[in-house]
Structure 1
């Protein structure tokens, strides 16, 4: 018996399941990140421009969206999964499995990311926005050429934070039947008292987090110079 077999006696026979779980976690993270990223940026921009000091101030619309974002950000993920169970079945055809987990993951991530985007864009120097307005720049150009361009470093920074938060959500999704490393840690590790399985699942999740953070830090440095 090799040293690895002695160290991880319950893991070595199921490496294929471990790698499958890793792929499921990456799939949930990347797919949700892409969908929620696009929707979150759009919602964050709408929150920015409809604020009382925004380019297209609309207090009624802003207050509605603000309340919706706050409500969904406040809901614990597990409760959200149960709450939208019928909607998930309607969209995917089932409420269990890796693909089904994308629905609550997206719904949970979009409000969080949208608020992060709004706060990131609010850091853009108002003087630059005012100068663009004085030059007759259209609102659409101000959004793309001023807010998104000048706030790019902040956008990348909050995106990295959101991805790390999302990885944690995928682990919870796995714990309630969504697959991935969270499911591996609970079904194979916790329920069967196999601590080495829990250890490996945890290490793999941490590696994904560290890589995500490293990529985010690298991109922030690149756009900041």
Structure 2
């Protein structure tokens, strides 16, 4: 489905990003594995195909780093067809009035401005592709309130505006831009967020927010990372060419 295409995946060192990179490779794509940590080499070992993988140390908060990583990808594989903006951080789990401004700035820099930096430098190459696509990884925090997670929620809601606008700016050159919005994805990150929410019960004037059955339409509401990865592959593939400017929730009915 993705043979003879090249994808650049940020945050490919672990979690959803690793799952996405492995899935795209399974469908035949060349994959550039971009992240700050050494985990990108572990992801490459899982894919186990040196000819179709490239590990590129990338910091999405540093424009020079982003530009160099994308140019290295194009040089290695001859072009770029898909950009997956997955790099992100959870940010602080605190009431809005206890969050430091520096934390706000950093969350937005990684989660939202980092995605824009990647599109800025990938856009010209995607326009040259006959199957160009951008898939932004958002969150149901971009569609519903996320108590005690204001920077994260704002960054993910901002991703919706970025997606919709880029869909029009890049669409004239047949590049699609969409946002996949997962609900709680099974793994270490959600476990840590749940623990931090629970800990706020001991703070004065703080109200913990819980994740429970009443929040979702489906009884088994945790999202397997593979479900997110398969949706990304669909949007990057030939059957997703008429889908653009959309937010696609994979959330067990958490935003119905």
The structure richer in strand per residue is 2
Per the normalisation by structure 2, the TM-score is: 0.25
Determine which structure has greater relative contact order: mean sequence separation of CA pairs < 8 Å that are 6+ residues apart, divided by chain length.
Answer: 1
Per the normalisation by structure 1, the TM-score is: 0.28
Larger Rg: 1
The structure richer in helix per residue is 1
